[in-house]
Amino acid sequence: MFRNVPRRSVLTGGLSLTLAGLGLSACASESKTPDGPAGPFPESWDEALTADVFDGLANQMGEQPGWFGAMVADEFNLTLNVIAPNVAGGGDTLYNTRVSAGELGDIVLTDVGQKLDELIDGGLLLDFSSYYANMKSAARFDDAVQKVNEGKDGIYAIPTQISSLKPTEPSEGIDPTFGPFVRWDLYKEVGYPEIGTLEDLLPVLKDMQDAAPAADNGGTVYSLSLFADWDGNYMNNAKQPCCYYGYDEMGFVLVKADGTDYQSILDDDGLYVRVLKWFFDANQLGLVDPDSTTQNYDSLFSKMQGGQVLFSFWPWQGQAAYNTEDHMAEGKGFMIAPLADQRIFSYGAPASGAAQVFSIGSNAEDPERAAAFIDWLYSPAGVYANSSQTMGAAGPQGLTWELDDDGKPELTDFGREALLAGGATVPDEWGGGSYIDGTSWLNVTTVLGNDEDPETGYPYNYKMWETYQESVANPLTEDWAAKMGGSATTMEYLTANDMLLVGTGASYVPPQDSSEVETIRNQVKAVIVENSWKMAFAADQAEFDALLTTMQDTAEGLGYQTVLDVDMANAKEQNTQREAIAAEFG
């Protein structure tokens, strides 16, 4: 039976402060350790409890609802009260407010490196070594756990995105994180033209848009539709095609996965400016949604669901929005249309986990229960449930999937409806409500979906199951496979055609900016973001060129070179660590 758990208030607001300014240094407070050794975790918990979860990755705030909340309540008699800086205005304001009060939360999801070290030195995190002795699921990855706690006087953190895969192997499943994904049905309609380069994609998109100027919902169709929600050091959308050529970001630097090239994003002949020109050219052809400058991600996603957008920067965007079973049965949906010169960046499986870690607050009301819950997140049941939204894990066994007579995992009818048909209503005994609304709000993956469930021998990611691939064969995937030489998945095609470049999973975390660098960076990135958007929508080439010069000159005048030097040094140190990790794992 699921239990009711009382509400608990959330502390918000406050001024931006630092740990040092708050006096929460190692001199002011010492880390806490539970008294005495902890025995095995209880099989049940009698007293209902609400745990504050401070989560810098979460995009929802409040009490976890739905089937995931019901699972946690049933297993631990626990309600998760998610405290999300992303929802509370972004930045570090909420973080600093709670630090000033001496309590971030019962459970803390924070960044490894300086932030984690400061919280430990400030006495805000618990040394849960005695509980770790009973965290059997997390301890399966003990090497990674010990690595992230290296140099500390106990166990303060469990890394996320842990994997048993080699760090030189892709961490993704059947699709890479990035890639030029298009409405394949319209690409087919215009004759499957070969696409040599990113620039060669534009006339293809124009032909596709001309072939279907209106969507089924009556809305106007555009090839590209952008959004500004994720802008940071630059215009985020403009960074994505850079990844098609093997580059990823390090501040103001674009770094090639194999360490052979480092580019300033303001270089005249660099990839970032090239993509801005690509956006400009696309807009001149009438291919860019005019709502791009004002809409958010959710608005764009809705348009994709309605068939109003023909290009997706990522597989998990367009496919999630449009590739329903009904659409795919009609041969409609997003699939990769490869560029002949692409070498898509792939994140190698992180050797010691990702940059985010789980910790327990030093003032946690029930630290043992917090430890038991965190450990559950690394168990097969926890991985399937918690990662069902972030990494394609299948969801709860018995609800979304089950083992067939041959012991192979397969989706249930409900699972197919929930995961492939756009959503489903959860049975009352599982908590009720919408399946999508009930997914975990933690927004973090504990164990990569590519990893094998030790209990079944199959990956957590249902898209990698034989039963799934056999059952979802449809006119869309069959047509795509026929054009891709019989490849069953995107990753299979990219690997076979040497179109993937893996950045070894070194789990590198750059040092925190000095106050001077942080100040300059904040000023410069505002200039870069503003002018990048203006360049994409410039009236003509002369205005585009003038805006580029303005962006470069203004950034340089603000001290861009100072920040670039820092980012370049960090990028090269990351590559050094990648090389060392690759050598270590052979």
117-161: per-residue pLDDT in tens? 999 999 999 999 999 999 999 999 998 999 899 999 999 999 998
Given this model, what pLDDT does residue 248 score? Answer: 96
Neighbours of 380 (CB within 10 A): 18
Q: Is 50 exceeded by the pLDDT of residue 27?
A: no
Asked whether the beta carbons of 282 and 290 are under 8 A apart, the reply is no
Cα distance between residue 569 and residue 268, in whole Å: 21
Residue 167 Cα distances to 171, 262, 347, 348, 580, angstroms: 8, 21, 9, 5, 11
Q: Which of 93-107, 327-341, 381-395 has the lowest mean pLDDT?
A: 381-395
Q: What is the mean pLDDT of residues 232-245?
A: 96
Cα distance between residue 520 and residue 311, in whole Å: 35
Given this model, what pLDDT does residue 88 score? Answer: 80
pTM of the predicted model, to two decimals?
0.77
What percentage of the chain has pLDDT greater than the value 90? 75
Measured on CA atoms in the order 492, 495, 497, 501, is the torsion positive or negative? positive
Of the CA atoms within 13 Å of residue 155, those in its CB half-sphere come to 20
Given this model, what pLDDT does residue 480 score? Answer: 97
Cα distance between residue 499 and residue 508, in whole Å: 24
Q: Is 50 exceeded by the pLDDT of residue 368?
A: yes
pLDDT band of residue 11 (cuts 50, 70, 90) is very low
399-454: per-residue pLDDT in tens? 999 999 999 999 999 999 998 887 899 999 999 999 999 999 999 999 988 899 99
Given this model, what pLDDT does residue 136 score? Answer: 94
Given this model, what pLDDT does residue 92 score? Answer: 79
Q: What is the mean pLDDT of residues 311-327?
A: 92
Beta strands per DSSP E along 37-157? 49-55, 62-63, 78-83, 107-111
84-110: per-residue pLDDT in tens? 988 887 667 888 889 988 889 999 999
More confident residue, 195 or 3: 195
Of the CA atoms within 13 Å of residue 206, those in its CB half-sphere come to 11
φ, ψ of residue 126 in degrees (nearest 5): -95, 140
Cα distance between residue 61 and residue 52, in whole Å: 11
Cα distance between residue 66 and residue 2, in whole Å: 11
Asked whether the beta carbons of 576 and 584 are under 8 A apart, the reply is no
Q: Are strands 49-55 and 107-111 parallel, antiparallel or unpaired?
A: parallel
As given in the structure block, the two tokens for residue 415 are 């699972």
List the one residue out of 228, 249, 246, 263 whose CA is nearest residue 179.
Answer: 246
pLDDT band of residue 24 (cuts 50, 70, 90) is very low
Q: Which of 44-48, 76-80, 181-185, 462-466 has the lowest mean pLDDT?
A: 462-466
